[in-house]
């Protein structure tokens, strides 16, 4: 009986430490769409809707990734992945008041 309790305790400890050692950026809350970017900077999917221009404060380029993208940065510091071929995206990046931010390095 003591052996099985000890084995069970070790198993629970191993599972608990494995769960807590996972990086936090892999946990994506369900209310944040997939097009909201999380580190590293490459995008997995494009945001489908046009972002209101008044919410955008800057942008980054993620052009060397599997899915090339323009990443718009909002007032709330969210990074939204967009298709660089969309007309509205091209219009936004031509706006001289919208600063190009430096690209992040992939870790």
Q: Which residues pair with 69 in a beta bridge?
A: 62
pLDDT of residue 32: 55
**Right CATH for 30-94 from 1.20.1290.10, 2.40.50.40, 1.20.200.10, 2.60.120.10:** 2.40.50.40
Q: Where are the beta strands (DSSP E) in the chain?
A: 56-62, 69-74, 79-82
Q: Which residues pair with 59 in a beta bridge?
A: 72, 100
Q: Which of 93, 45, 44 is nearest to 73 (CA)?
A: 93
What pTM did the predictor assign?
A: 0.59
pLDDT of residue 101: 81
pLDDT of residue 22: 42
pLDDT of residue 40: 54
Where are the chain's structural domains? 30-94
Q: Which residues pair with 74 in a beta bridge?
A: 56
pLDDT tens for 64-83 read 889 999 999 999 999 999 99
Establish whether the linkage from the previous residue to 40 is cis, with ω within 30° of 0.
Answer: yes
Sheet of 69-74: strand order equals 56-62, 69-74, 79-82
pLDDT of residue 3: 55
């Amino acid at each position: 009986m003591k052996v099985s309790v000890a084995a069970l305790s070790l198993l629970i400890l191993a599972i608990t430490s494995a769960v807590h050692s996972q990086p936090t950026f892999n946990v994506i809350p369900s209310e944040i769409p997939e097009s909201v970017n999380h580190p590293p900077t490459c995008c997995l999917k494009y945001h489908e809707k046009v972002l209101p221009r008044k919410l955008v404060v800057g942008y980054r380029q993620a052009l060397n990734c599997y899915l090339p993208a323009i990443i718009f940065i909002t007032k709330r510091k969210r990074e939204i992945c967009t298709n660089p071929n969309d007309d509205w995206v091209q219009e936004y990046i031509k706006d001289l008041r919208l600063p190009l931010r430096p690209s992040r390095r992939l870790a």
